[in-house]
Amino acid sequence: MLELVKFRKSYGSVPVLKTDYLKLPPGIFWIKGQNGSGKSTLLRALAGILSFDGRIILNDQMDLKKQPVGYKQRVNFAEAEPLFPEFLTGMEMVNLFSSAKKAPINQHEYFVEHMSMNDYIHEPLGSYSSGMLKKLSIVLAFLGKPEIILLDEPLVTLDEKSLAILCAWIEEKHRKEGISFLLSSHQPVEVKGLNTIREVLVADQTIKVKA
């Protein structure tokens, strides 16, 4: 469960997002809104990347501002357009994230193999295409023992096979492990095999769960 209490996000003097109280129960959520409405800003704030006013609380007990390390080990995030150091290899990024997220030994092997990344996982990231970078960012988001995974535009730049695999992962992880997901997408995610999804609407600076 994720709670936002007196949440406000502004850029300088320009308000972007606000809600006095928002409660997201466990589940799979599609964040919807027009371009520039603040979908990515919301996810980046929830991930602890952007500063904000107010509180973000995980499971009634873990406050992002008060317990940032514990919170970030439980909330994983994949950027819409991931940027990684070009001189590192994909496997070096996997090892870094596995260590930071306290992932089980060799956990990454399943995800790397199923995303068909073994042929290039040891190559420098500067040689990766946008699709390859996207797959790496998604694999990193599944590492560790997250309670919530935030995916910003996860359907963009992925081929159809990888899309099907990602949707199967989301459904399986939610059903078997109780992991919650928040996805932003300009594409209709309900036609991608995610059948148990709820909507979060972002408009006019306001965040609300669709009834």
Predicted TM-score of the model (pTM): 0.94
* Domain 2-83+145-209 coded CATH 3.40.50.300: yes
Concatenating the DSSP letter of every residue in 137-185 gives HHHHHTSS--SEEEEESTTTT--HHHHHHHHHHHHHHHHHH--EEEEE-
pLDDT at 195 over 70: no
pLDDT tens profile 109-126: 999 999 999 999 999 999
**pLDDT value for 33:** 87
Task: Give the H or E element holding residue 112.
Answer: helix 108-114
* Domain spans, the chain: 2-83+145-209
pLDDT tens profile 16-72: 999 999 999 999 999 998 888 899 999 999 999 999 999 999 999 999 999 999 999
